[in-house]
Amino acid sequence: YLGMVNNLKPSQPTVKNAYRLDENKLPQHLSSAWENLDQCKEMREILSDHFVSTFLEVKREEYKANMNVLSQWELRYLLLNV
């Protein structure tokens, strides 16, 4: 939608390994992605300030809650091998 509104032209097809490209990199961390969404005027206009703010608040709280829980992998490979 935003590409059509902003008259963006599609890029050429990627024929090499896209994970190794420097251009158009996605954020490496959730916090960076959340910050990008928080600062995006267009998304706030489309989805509304209230939705974006609430969505980000929920996602940040989910992340905090998840950080307090040990995964099965952590239990199996880290905790039991100490």
Task: Look at the block and give the residue holding tokens 């040990």.
Answer: 70
Convert the pLDDT of each residue in 9-48 to its tens digit. 988 888 888 888 877 778 889 999 999 999 999 999 999 9
Q: What pLDDT does 62 receive?
A: 95
Return the number of other C-beta atoms located less than 10 Å from residue 2's C-beta: 11
